[in-house]
Structure 1
Amino acid sequence: MINNKVLSIILGGGQGSRLYPLTENRSKPAVPIAGKYRLVDIPISNCINSDIKRMFVLTQFNSASLNKHIQNTYHFSFFSSAFVDVLAAEQTIQSGEWFQGTADAVRQSMHHFLQHDFEYALILSGDQLYQMDFNEMIEAHEDSGAEISIATYPVIAKDATSFGIMKTDENNIIESFIEKPDASLLPDWTSNVSEEMNNQGRHYLASMGIYIFNRDLLIELMKDDGTVDFGKEIIPEAINKHKTLSYQYEGYWTDIGNIDSFFEANLGLTDAIPKFNLYDNKQRIYTNARILPTSKISGTLLEKAVISDGCIVHAAKIERSVIGLRSRVGAESTVINCYMMGNDRYESLEEVQQHKVSTFMGIGERCFIKNAILDKNCRIGDDVRINGGKKLKDQETDTYFVKDGIVVVKKDAHIPSGTIIQ
């Protein structure tokens, strides 16, 4: 079944500088998450679970790996109208510029969207972690007679100053909007929320960056090429002219646009009852169906560890860490509070000798790795000590990057045996 009323537009974001160096060689939607997925799998899976199977992913930076992932992953029946297409910024007769913002990305791609029949455009962000049934939001949009709907998330006062905040009437119709309000203004920006949210002090409705536009209105709004961003321009101007509904969402949702939030979102998956549930029969997260062996673990104490397929682990201890596909961890090594993205392939001993490197891709023997993100295909030699924490100053070298106390070892980097980062 396909929801033919809806066309989904997933915004891949700009250069992704807040997620650097994870975005040094890949677009933000292609960043690996949870050991075996990519960020783009989250909005795509939410759409598939909602029977919305016509999707465009808009991006402009380093889109080759994203293209490859989507091409290898999302295959639908030849007799179906379902598709997931990547649209990178392109030069046309009308425009020779890169995307200038979220609205400009949609505007420049409109000629692709209008080749399809749809009543509603569902506009999503490519860098959020959540599980939502979009059909409920679409039904609320239709029942209210709105021209625009915005998914909103109740937040506490401390967080409200970091978001665009909506103020609604008793029918959840948005009356006004303010971008990142000063704390002194918050008393005037409370809205009606559920009793549970009210008891938690979450009185303020933050925009989630998830929108539904009626087709005709979107076409009309995109004619004004003076507006380049939905959150800063389109939405504030439109709510005074067009009926705009607030659809309150109370499940787990987080924006993982920077290294710190990305790190915590991944480590949160190791909790006994994670807020983001990967073990749900109805809200599955889809990704590339790789043919990999089961993981092999020898002599390792595992405590709150998530181990992906195809790993070879001889570590002494792995604690509160996510270990990605095809990862190798050597004997007597300790890994704590880490996200190890894994490897794109296995190496043979002959390959290692041929390339004159001292270790396989992965973590060597007798290492201590804490508070770190290890990007794909990196090599950590023997007796390496990486002990991240707030004591470390922000810095960057050829092989690693430190931000907010988190050590990010770059993709394909080689950290020589005996190296100490602490």
Structure 2
Amino acid sequence: MINDKVLSIILGGGQGSRLYPLTENRSKPAVPIAGKYRLVDIPISNCINSSIKRMYVLTQFNSASLNKHIKNTYHFSFFSSAFVDVLAAEQTIHSDKWFQGTADAVRQSMHHFLAHDFEYALILSGDQLYQMDFNEMIEAHEKSGAEISIATYPVNAKDATSFGILKTDEDSIIKSFIEKPKSDLLPDWTSQVSKQMQDEGRHYLASMGIYIFNKNLLVELMNEPNKVDFGKEIIPGAIANHKTLSYQYEGYWTDIGNIDSFFEANLGLTDEIPEFNLFDNNQRIYTHARVLPTSKISGTLCDKTVIADGCIIHAAKIERSVIGIRSRIGAESTVNNCYMMGNDYYETLEEVETNKIKTLMGIGERCFIKNVILDKNCRIGDDVRINGGPKLKDKETKNYLIKDGIVVVKKDAIIPSGTIIQ
């Protein structure tokens, strides 16, 4: 079944500089999460679970790996109208510029969208972690007779100053908007929220950057070339002239905006009852179907640890860590509070012996690795000690970056045996 009323548009974001160096060689939606997925799998899976199977992903930076992932992952029936296509910024007779913002990306791609029949455009962000049934939001949109719907998330006073805040009437119709209000203005920006949200002190409605537009209105709004961003220009301007509904969402949601939020979102998966539930039969997260062996673990104490397929682990201890596909961890090593993305391939015994590889992929023996993100295909030698934490100053070298106390070892980096970073 395909929801033929809706066309989904997933915004891949800009250069993703706040997630550097994870975005050095890949676009933000292609960044690996949870040991086996990519960020773009989240909005795509939410759409599939909502029977929305016509999707465009808009991007313009380092889109090769994203293209490859989507091409190899999302295959629908030959006789179906379902698709997931990547649209990179392109020069046309109408524009020779890069995407200038979220709205400009949609504007420049409209000729692709209008080749399809649809009533509603569902516009999503490619860098958020959440599970939502979009059908409920679409039903609320239709029932209210709105021209635009915005998914909103109740936040407390502390967080409200970091978001665009919307004020609604008793019918959940948005009447005004303010971008990142100062704390002294907040008393005038409360909205009606559920009893549970009130008890948690979450009285303010933040825009989640998830929108439904009636097709005709979207076409009309895209004829304003000077407005290049939805959150800063299109939405504030449209609220006054077009009925705009607030659809309150109270589940887990986080914006993967920087290294710190990315790190915590991944480590949160190790909680006893994680807020983001990967074990939900009805809200599955889809990704590339790899044919990998089961993981092999020998003599390792694992506590609050998520381990993906195809790993070979001889570590002494792994605590509160996410271990990605094809990871290798040597004997007597300790891994604590880490996200190890894993490897894209295995090194064979013949390669190791013939090429005399000095530093194998993965983590070597007798290492201590704490508060670290290891990007794909890293080579950590023996007796390496990396102890991240607030005491470390921000720093970048050829092989790693330190940001807010988190050490990010870059993709394909080699950290020689005996290295100490602490």
TM-score class, shorter: over 0.9
Q: Secondary structure at the match of 2:262?
A: helix
Render the CA deviation track for 1:253-278: whole Å, top value 9, x for unaligned: 00011000000000000000000000
Render the CA deviation track for 1:71-118: whole Å, top value 9, x for unaligned: 000000011000000000001111111000000000000000000000
Render the CA deviation track for 1:294-345: whole Å, top value 9, x for unaligned: 0000000000000000000000000000000000000000000000000000
Query: Percent identity of the aligned residues?
Result: 85
Partner of 1:172: 172
The answer on 1:208 being equivalent to 2:202 is: no
Alpha-carbon distance, 1:349 to partner: 2.9
Alpha-carbon distance, 1:384 to partner: 0.2
Q: Secondary structure at the match of 1:106?
A: helix
**Correspondences of 1:67-146 after superposition (within 5 Å):** 67-146=67-146
Partner of 1:374: 374
Equivalent residue letter for 1:135? N
Partner of 1:15: 15
Separation in structure 1 between the aligned mates of residue 97 and residue 161 of structure 2, nearest angstrom? 33
Separation in structure 2 between the aligned mates of residue 357 and residue 392 of structure 1, nearest angstrom? 31
Separation in structure 2 between the aligned mates of residue 76 and residue 154 of structure 1, nearest angstrom? 36
Equivalent residue letter for 1:387? N
Equivalent residue letter for 2:205? L
Equivalent residue letter for 1:83? F
Separation in structure 1 between the aligned mates of residue 341 and residue 57 of structure 2, nearest angstrom? 23
Separation in structure 2 between the aligned mates of residue 352 and residue 387 of structure 1, nearest angstrom? 29
Partner of 1:26: 26
Partner of 2:163: 163
Separation in structure 2 between the aligned mates of residue 6 and residue 97 of structure 1, nearest angstrom? 28
Equivalent residue letter for 1:180? K
Q: Secondary structure at the match of 1:207?
A: strand
The answer on 1:225 being equivalent to 2:225 is: yes
Alpha-carbon distance, 1:351 to partner: 1.9
Separation in structure 1 between the aligned mates of residue 252 and residue 121 of structure 2, nearest angstrom? 23
Separation in structure 2 between the aligned mates of residue 341 and residue 100 of structure 1, nearest angstrom? 32
Does the 8 A contact of 1:371 with 1:387 survive in 2?
yes
Does the 8 A contact of 2:384 with 2:418 survive in 1?
yes
Equivalent residue letter for 1:156? N
Partner of 2:41: 41
Partner of 1:287: 287
Separation in structure 2 between the aligned mates of residue 343 and residue 110 of structure 1, nearest angstrom? 38
Equivalent residue letter for 2:44? I
Does the 8 A contact of 1:352 with 1:359 survive in 2?
no
Q: Secondary structure at the match of 1:210?
A: strand
Q: Secondary structure at the match of 1:278?
A: coil
Render the CA deviation track for 1:342-398: whole Å, top value 9, x for unaligned: 000000133234555312210000000000000000000000000000000001000
Equivalent residue letter for 2:312? I
Q: Secondary structure at the match of 1:417?
A: coil
Separation in structure 2 between the aligned mates of residue 102 and residue 145 of structure 1, nearest angstrom? 25
Does the 8 A contact of 2:7 with 2:54 survive in 1?
yes
Partner of 1:403: 403
Equivalent residue letter for 1:330? G
The answer on 1:302 being equivalent to 2:299 is: no
Q: Secondary structure at the match of 1:202?
A: coil
Partner of 2:389: 389
Separation in structure 1 between the aligned mates of residue 247 and residue 256 of structure 2, nearest angstrom? 21
Equivalent residue letter for 1:369? I
RMSD: 0.6
**Correspondences of 1:254-333 after superposition (within 5 Å):** 254-333=254-333
Q: Secondary structure at the match of 2:209?
A: strand
Render the CA deviation track for 1:161-195: whole Å, top value 9, x for unaligned: 00000000000000000000000000000000000
Equivalent residue letter for 1:60? Q
Q: Secondary structure at the match of 2:303?
A: strand
Give the paired residue count: 422
Separation in structure 1 between the aligned mates of residue 175 and residue 227 of structure 2, nearest angstrom? 21
Equivalent residue letter for 2:255? D
Equivalent residue letter for 1:24? E
Separation in structure 2 between the aligned mates of residue 421 and residue 234 of structure 1, nearest angstrom? 46
Separation in structure 1 between the aligned mates of residue 396 and residue 366 of structure 2, nearest angstrom? 25
The answer on 1:63 being equivalent to 2:63 is: yes
Separation in structure 2 between the aligned mates of residue 355 and residue 161 of structure 1, nearest angstrom? 55
Separation in structure 1 between the aligned mates of residue 358 and residue 327 of structure 2, nearest angstrom? 17
Separation in structure 2 between the aligned mates of residue 128 and residue 360 of structure 1, nearest angstrom? 33
Separation in structure 2 between the aligned mates of residue 195 and residue 351 of structure 1, nearest angstrom? 62
Alignment gaps of 5+ in structure 2: none
